[in-house]
Amino acid sequence: MLTVKVEGIKEVKKLLSELEKNQFPFAYAKSLTLVAKTVRSGEYEEMKRVFDRPTPYTLNSLFVDPATKTMPASRVWLKWGTLQRTQHHLEPQIFGGGRHHKNFEKALYKVGALPRDMYIVPARKLKLDWYGNIPASTIIKMLSWFRAFSEVGYLANRAAKVKQKKGYSYFAVKSGGGKLRPGIWARSKKGVEPVFMFVRAPKYKKRFDFFGEGGKIFKREWRPIFNKAMTDALATADAYAKAHK
């Protein structure tokens, strides 16, 4: 997550009047939260710039943990959905390197349709959605065919068998050497065509400079945001004091 340290706070507090010292914790917490929200907005725009047609899910992947008077710290980081286990889908884009298996890949591995050390990529002719991703309907149909949803007692070796069902079936080719490359293939009246290909662990380059972008925004926005928050807090305290004389 993005962490920044504000230098010189103790020195600043020594120069404040009693009124300013009383209002400082509120202004400080408010400014930390506001600058974190500003960072999130800037990261949102950065994702739109570096990614090709990012999905709404990707663009809304960041959360802000607000600061409080008693906990003067705010953070911006990735949301973790209920289906996430070990890795957020944006982490390889931020840190580079490999990625973990996705949930549907884990399901295929459990039923024996995907080798343990392989990953799935869409075949060249597979129709992707507008965002360039594998359509959820395609994944669901494939998992349903292989009975890869969590079903107790299902035998793994049945997953690789080829069966015709309403003229359409899926089957897995787990090793090369034949006419068909390793992957998930579909058989229909039109013939056999690839749906997904099996590949070794993919490597990603850093594309989303989350920390660099966030640091630049904080450096640019922190002082004016804090100054305004402090001015507003003092004005509110002054108005309250006058009203209760």
Tokens, residue 143 = 């998992």
Helix locations, the chain, DSSP H: 9-14, 18-50, 56-59, 91-95, 103-110, 136-145, 210-243
- Per-residue model confidence (pLDDT) at position 20: 61
- For residue 73, pLDDT over 50 is answered with yes
State whether 217 and 149 are in the same domain: no
- Return the higher-pLDDT residue of 115 and 82: 115
State whether 186 and 109 are in the same domain: yes
Q: What domain range includes position 82?
A: 9-88+204-243
State whether 109 and 189 are in the same domain: yes
- Per-residue model confidence (pLDDT) at position 16: 54
Q: Say if 179 falls within a structural domain.
A: yes
State whether 158 and 211 are in the same domain: no
- In percent, the amount of the chain with pLDDT more than 90 equals 36
pTM (predicted TM-score):
0.71
State whether 195 and 209 are in the same domain: no
Out of 165, 183, 199, a domain closes at 199
CB 72 within 8 A of CB 226: no
CB 22 within 8 A of CB 238: no
- For residue 47, pLDDT over 90 is answered with yes
What mean pLDDT comes out for the span 81-105? Answer: 80
- Per-residue model confidence (pLDDT) at position 123: 92
Res. 188 pLDDT band, cuts 50 70 90: confident
State whether 50 and 135 are in the same domain: no
Q: Say if 96 falls within a structural domain.
A: no
Total domains, the chain: 2
Q: Say if 185 falls within a structural domain.
A: yes
Encode pLDDT of 125-181 as tens digits.
899 888 888 888 888 888 888 887 654 333 333 333 434 456 678 899 988 667 889
